[in-house]
Chain A
Amino acid sequence: GAVVSQHPSRVICKSGTSVKIECRSLDFQATTMFWYRQFPKQSLMLMATSNEGSKATYEQGVEKDKFLINHASLTLSTLTVTSAHPEDSSFYICSATAGGFIGTDTQYFGPGTRLTVL
């Protein structure tokens, strides 16, 4: 099956720094990538939808300037948490689809990135 990787798998940073998380589709071209956030013992919440070559679409309540998303190629999307604070500590998961008709395509999930902001 299709494989999606994330890097890094774990990051610890000081408050106020920026952190970049990469999401790569290893064996397929991902026209759309999704970024989710998961707090401890909670479900996944969609943050934004990222289409290659265009601006990301953010969910209500997600700050665009805080969570910068770049989908520069068909195999790579990046999420940058700018000026991170302890409340941004969470598990960030990306997923990717290869395109096709809406409602029929499968999302392939990455292994996640654990962000801890001190």
Chain B
Amino acid sequence: KQEVTQIPAALSVPEGENLVLNCSFTDSAIYNLQWFRQDPGKGLTSLLLIQSSQREQTSGRLNASLDKSSGRSTLYIAASQPGDSATYLCAVRPESYNTDKLIFGTGTRLQVFP
């Protein structure tokens, strides 16, 4: 059974710091991995999607890497801002299922203070 874990569960940092959020998954047989942002009481915003054949994806201050064989992904946030405060979720799309369903991680709650 695929399990997705995120570390740390919560993080509070001053503005300007560079951050690394970690995601690990137990079964390396995945189609892709996706990082989402969720603001309190809101839905999900997709940040980055990495296909299993890719090593990383970048969007602005965000960079996500994927090491499929070791079951790990990291989300790097450069020069953090208070507006980055949110919960960050990673999700994998397993190869073993005959659907497009996602398995979500436990999330990292990020707070960036001025």
Contacts and interface: CB of A to CB of B under 8 A. Distances in A.
A and B, one complex?
yes
Contacts of A114: 41
Interface of B: 31-32, 36, 41-46, 49, 89, 91, 93, 95, 98-107, 109
B100 A109 contact: no
B31 A44 contact: no
Which 6 residue pairs across A and B have the least CB separation, nearest first?
A103-B31, A111-B43, A109-B44, A44-B104, A43-B104, A112-B43
Contacts of B46: 106, 109
Given A49-B101, A57-B99, A107-B102, A43 B44 contact: no
B3 to A, nearest CB: 11
Contact of A43 (B45, B98, B101, B106): B106
Contacts of B103: 46
A103 B95 contact: yes
A95 to B, nearest CB: 8
